[in-house]
Amino acid sequence: MLDPILRILALIRKELLAILRDPRSRVSLFLPPIVQCLIFGYAATYDLTRVPYAVLDQDRSAASRELLAAMNGSHVFQQVASLDHSADIKTMIDEQRVLLVIQIGQDFQRRLLAGLPATVQVIADGRNSNTAGTALGYLSTIVDAFNRAWAADHEAVGPPIRVTMRAWYNANLETRWYMVPALIGTLTMLQTLLLAAMSVAREREQGTFDQLLVTPFRPVEIMVGKALPAIMVGMTQATLILLVAQLWFRIPFAGSYLTLYIGLAFFLLAAVGIGLMLSAIVATMQQAMLYAFLVMMPFSLLSGLTTPISNMPAVFQYLTLLNPLRYAIEIAHRVYLEGAGLDRIAPDLWPMTLIAAVTLPSAAWLFRRGVE
């Protein structure tokens, strides 16, 4: 009874030595999660803070100046140029010197004083239409506030209806709060899956795997011996990222660490299972790497990390059900931001269990097949 456990422990020790002996591979496993989380935590945001814009003010009135002052005071928009002719608009936009050009017609103030709608023309660079749309959204909030202030200053009745807005779980609507917890799953998956995919392939290529197969180890034991070290590496990486999220980005953690780690354990089982299965199929490290990328790309892009799953066509929404990262990201958000307990993440746990239950035994079964 004790024997298989001792054998597996010996294998795990050997496996960890193989991964961690080389100082370069040590560095390549534990430094990148921290650096990536720091850089991408800052980079991966749909929030805008520096939108360059140009103005074509044909009115040059008190009203137009007031509107522009409201824009410049918003910490979102930065006026970089003042245009004189509408012919200049094209170059400014084409050469990406500005994201928006705001054109205020010469009757702007006159119409406002007359109680008429006064048009502000806005031309946006749609090469990234999401960025442009977000900027236009900010702009309309500023114009709303301007209208209210204008009505108050001129003792007129303002717009009769006020829209107030509150966001749950992320009061300031910061994309970073969404992205950084999602990175816990994403960054760990990429390296752990690749690590698992390379593990058997490396031994096959060096010929040591055949030697391992002729020892008393059963394939299942070899599988466990390969899977556990990779999961240990993944857990360490996840912890490092979690530390950066809390100590550096100071994103408040609402849930329980135990729940999060239970979720991560299931996730890593599934990810490592997929990696090991790939590793058992391929013959060389080159193939292992290529196939690992071939699954990791869809996993990371179809996970809800960058674009919401609910925007996808129905077929693709079903496909994402096979993606362990989808569940990991959901769990990270639920537990991290909303403080969800085990009962609420249970629907995300069992699909990962299923993935692990299929991939890990298949990997063990496939180990033998490579010998012929």
Partner 1 sequence: MRRITALVRKETYQLFRDPSSIAIGIAMPLLLILLFGYALSLDVNNVPVAVVLEDPSPEATELAASFTLSPYFDPTLLTAMPRAQELVLEQKVDAIVRIRPDFAHRLNQGDAEVQILVYGSDANRARIIEAYARGAIAQWASRRAMEGHREPAAGAAVVESRLWFNEADDSHYFLVPGLIVLIMTLIGALLTALVMAREWERGTLEALFVTPVRAGEILMAKMIPYFALGMVGLALCILAAKFLFEVPIRGSISILVAVSMLYLLVALSIGLLISSVTKSQFVSSMATLLITFLPALFLSGFLFDLRSMPAAVRIISYALPARYYVTLLQTVFLAGDIWGVILPNAVVLLGMAAGLLALTRAVATKKLS
Query: Which residues, numbered 76-135, are part of the site for partner 1 (CB under 8 A)?
Result: 91, 93-96, 99, 108, 111-134
User: How many residues at the interface with partner 1, by CB under 8 A?
Assistant: 119
Distance from C-alpha of 55 to C-alpha of 71, rounded to nearest angstrom: 11
CB of 226 to partner 1, least distance (A): 14
Identity of the residue, 2 or 24, whose beta carbon is nearer to partner 1 in the bound complex: 24
According to the binding rule CB under 8 A, does residue 230 interact with partner 1? Answer: no
Identity of the residue, 221 or 241, whose beta carbon is nearer to partner 1 in the bound complex: 241
Contact by Cβ (8 Å): 29, 158: no
Distance from C-alpha of 313 to C-alpha of 316, rounded to nearest angstrom: 6
Residue whose entry in the numeric block shows the structure tokens 């180890």: 217
Interface mask toward partner 1 for 302-341; x: CB under 8 A: x---xxx-xxxx--x--x-------------x---xx---
Interface mask toward partner 1 for 56-75; x: CB under 8 A: -----------x--------
CB of 367 to partner 1, least distance (A): 19
According to the binding rule CB under 8 A, does residue 353 interact with partner 1? Answer: no
Residues 167-226, interacting with partner 1 (CB under 8 A): 167-171, 173-175, 177-178, 187, 190-191, 194, 198, 202, 205
Identity of the residue, 42 or 350, whose beta carbon is nearer to partner 1 in the bound complex: 42
Q: What are the DSSP calls for 343-371, one per residue?
A: HHHHHHHHHHHHHHHHHHHHHHHHHHHTT
Short-list 236, 249, 239, CA closest to 38: 249
**Member of 2, 6, 87, 165 binding partner 1 (CB under 8 A):** 165
**Cβ atoms < 10 Å from Cβ of 58:** 17
Q: Which two tokens stand for residue 99?
A: 């994201």
Identity of the residue, 92 or 363, whose beta carbon is nearer to partner 1 in the bound complex: 92
Distance from C-alpha of 324 to C-alpha of 274, rounded to nearest angstrom: 10
Distance from C-alpha of 237 to C-alpha of 269, rounded to nearest angstrom: 15
According to the binding rule CB under 8 A, does residue 236 interact with partner 1? Answer: no
For residue 303, the SS3 value is coil
According to the binding rule CB under 8 A, does residue 147 interact with partner 1? Answer: yes
Identity of the residue, 189 or 352, whose beta carbon is nearer to partner 1 in the bound complex: 189
According to the binding rule CB under 8 A, does residue 250 interact with partner 1? Answer: no
Distance from C-alpha of 319 to C-alpha of 302, rounded to nearest angstrom: 9
For residue 61, the SS3 value is coil
Give Cα 179 to chain centroid, integer Å.
Answer: 5
Name the amino acid, one letter, at 6.
L
**Member of 10, 17, 43, 243 binding partner 1 (CB under 8 A):** 43
